[in-house]
A and B are shown apart, each in its own frame.
Chain A
């Protein structure tokens, strides 16, 4: 498991550095691209945890769709080359404090749940079996235990979609 550990820390380092650059970069497009690096590295962490379905979803949804839309929007509106000086919001300190508090809450919740114990990985991490694979497990749980939340989220997304169309249409 040495290789996994090495890669975990490598990816964690990439995530931390890129996340830091997202907020400190002077160029909107650069910031968006550092965000891509963060999300890609997170996807890689999922792969490392043998959750390739989540990894694929991460790539498809976040990198393939959301960030592309980000970039698309940025380039359509304010695609300036070179660095911007007015990117730092006046209330950045407040945002930083919020982020720290958020991090603290999440960290506390995790620690409270697992109490610094390492959860052992399954013995065989090769992902070959078609039956009983973890994507099947995911889909099973989505369509049984979490059916109602799943459908509610779909309706929410639909509402957002309709709202976007209403806002975008001029006539």
Chain B
């Protein structure tokens, strides 16, 4: 209801609800599609001195649709000894977690689905739900590679939940709120030594947290160098091994949509969210520009995520755990400490 006040019309509840459903679909699919086309197809290809898809549409831009069409046509194979019901449910759980992540994301002063006091807290909680989907997928496939992949994923996601939360705590302390809108506002209205042109994006003060958050994001998304749950040269795409057709597509969309969601979180927490630096427009204008600004920032963060993905080899499982517990968590804790001291001092 609130999100629609900008148009100056009162809509019925069901109309608002259906608009929201449309909006969240757009919010999930658009970054996911953009990531796949821009980064997976094109950027990766250029980095690897090749062109990437070129046939479907101008510069292969329709390749994505072709891929979706291909997956929809494929047979949906279920292994004989699989737990059929759980096998079917698993991708939806992963996808649901991704969709729910966007429910707390602010896209503009009035453009959001919900504006909860505990927005970031809920987002982190919801992101951990996807682990269950992955575990179920790994277990229900009745495949050892899948099981290993699922267990690796669970261990990894649990381990990296912690540095991620701790990295966010620094931001929360500085902003003084758990509300994502409040965090955006704190960055937008803040100033650096009296200069308020670009506000105070927490990237500048919380760069350590940003680094930890990005690394943890990389791990949460199971992207290289933390992709051992889906390592194709070891355990043959892990928990996704037995999936095909539509259900594989759901996992695939889930992977990139979650990348989009985490990039959006990072953009909101550290890059100022939907707010535009240097200019100060009224709320109504920002309601339209804000989503685009956020989208641009999502692409920036996505670029970093995928750049690392295409460059690095992957860690080993124990090295990954050691990295989380020995480096990331202490660094994040020190960051919290320093932030607290500075917060109290100034």
Alpha-carbon distance between A96 and B118 when the two chains are bound, in angstroms: 38
Interface of A (DSSP majority class)? helix
Binds A, one of B40-48, B146-154, B278-286, B334-342: B146-154
From the candidates B81, B82, B117, B132, name the one contacting A52 in the complex (CB within 8 A). B117
Q: Is the CB of B117 within 8 A of A133?
A: yes
Chain A residues contacting B136 (CB-CB under 8 Å) are 29, 33, 71
Q: How large is the interface on B (under 10, 10 to 19, 20 to 34, 35 or more residues)?
A: 35 or more
Chain A hits for B115, CB < 8 A: 127-128
Cβ distance A52 to chain B, nearest Cβ, rounded Å: 5
Out of A52, A76, A133, which one reaches B151, CB within 8 Å?
Answer: A76
- A141 at the B interface (CB under 8 A): no
A71 and B135 in contact, given A63-B128, A76-B151 (Cβ under 8 angstroms): yes
> Do B139 and A56 touch (CB < 8 A)?
no
Q: Cβ of A26: which chain B residues have Cβ within 8 Å of it?
A: none
Of A27, A67, A133, which one neighbours B132 at CB under 8 angstroms? A67
A130 at the A/B interface (Cβ < 8 Å)? yes
Are A68 and B147 closer than 8 Å at their CB atoms? Answer: no
Q: How far is the CA of A53 from the CA of B121 in the complex (A)?
A: 8
Contact between chains at A130 and B158 (CB < 8 Å): no
Contact B81–A81 (Cβ < 8 Å): yes
**A126 vs B217: C-alpha distance in the bound complex, in angstroms?**
31
Complex CA–CA separation, A8 to B155 (angstroms): 35
Contact A56–B151 (Cβ < 8 Å):
no
Given contacts A59-B126, A81-B81, A130-B182, contact A36 B132 (CB under 8 A): yes
Which of chain B's residues has its CB closest to A75's CB?
B139
Binary B-proximity of A60-85 (CB < 8 A = 1, otherwise 0): 10011101110110011001011000
Pick from B81, B117, B125, B142: contact of A134, CB under 8 Å: B117
Q: Complex Cα distance A160/B136, Å?
A: 28
- CB-defined contacts of A64 to chain B, threshold 8 Å: 125, 127-129, 131, 161
User: B317 at interface (Cβ–Cβ under 8 A)?
Assistant: no
Taking CB as reference atom, which chain B residue is nearest A72? B154
Distance in angstroms between the alpha carbons of A54 and B139 in the assembled complex: 30
Find out whether the CB atom of A71 lies under 8 angstroms from the CB atom of B132.
yes
Q: Which residue on chain A has the smallest CB distance to residue B155?
A: A72
Number of chain A interface residues as a range: 20 to 34
A57, B117: Cβ atoms closer than 8 Å: no
Interface flags for B161-174 (1: CB within 8 Å of A; 0: not) read: 10000000000000
B177 at the binding interface (Cβ < 8 Å): yes
Return A53 CB to nearest CB of chain B, in Å.
Answer: 5
Give Cα distance in the complex from A135 to B121, angstroms.
Answer: 11
Closest to A62 in B: B125
Minimal beta-carbon separation of B242 from chain A (angstroms): 13
The reply to whether B116 and A69 contact each other, CB–CB distance below 8 Å, is no
B135, A136: Cβ atoms closer than 8 Å: no
B255 sits at the interface (CB 8 A): no
- In contact, B117 and A60 (Cβ under 8 angstroms): no
Q: Does B178 contact A (CB under 8 A)?
A: yes
Taking CB atoms and an 8 Å cut-off, the chain A residues in 28-66 that contact chain B are 29-30, 33, 36, 52-53, 55-57, 59-60, 63-65
The reply on B64 being an interface residue by CB < 8 A is no
Please measure, in the bound complex, the distance between the C-alpha atom of A29 and the C-alpha atom of B89, giving whole angstroms. 14
Residues of B within 8 A of A79 (CB): 139, 147
Q: Residues of B with Cβ closer than 8 Å to A?
A: 2, 81-83, 86, 114-118, 121-122, 124-129, 131-132, 135-136, 138-140, 142, 147, 150-151, 154-155, 157-158, 161, 177-179, 182
Between A and B, 30 residue pairs with Cβ closer than 8 Å are A29-B139, A33-B132, A33-B136, A52-B116, A52-B117, A52-B122, A53-B117, A56-B121, A56-B122, A56-B125, A59-B128, A59-B129, A60-B128, A63-B132, A64-B127, A65-B158, A68-B135, A68-B154, A71-B135, A71-B136, A72-B135, A75-B150, A76-B151, A79-B147, A81-B82, A128-B115, A130-B182, A134-B117, A135-B118, A135-B178
Known: A59-B122, A71-B154. 15 other contacts (CB 8 A): A29-B83, A53-B121, A56-B122, A57-B125, A59-B129, A64-B161, A67-B132, A68-B154, A71-B132, A75-B135, A81-B81, A81-B83, A81-B139, A127-B115, A134-B117
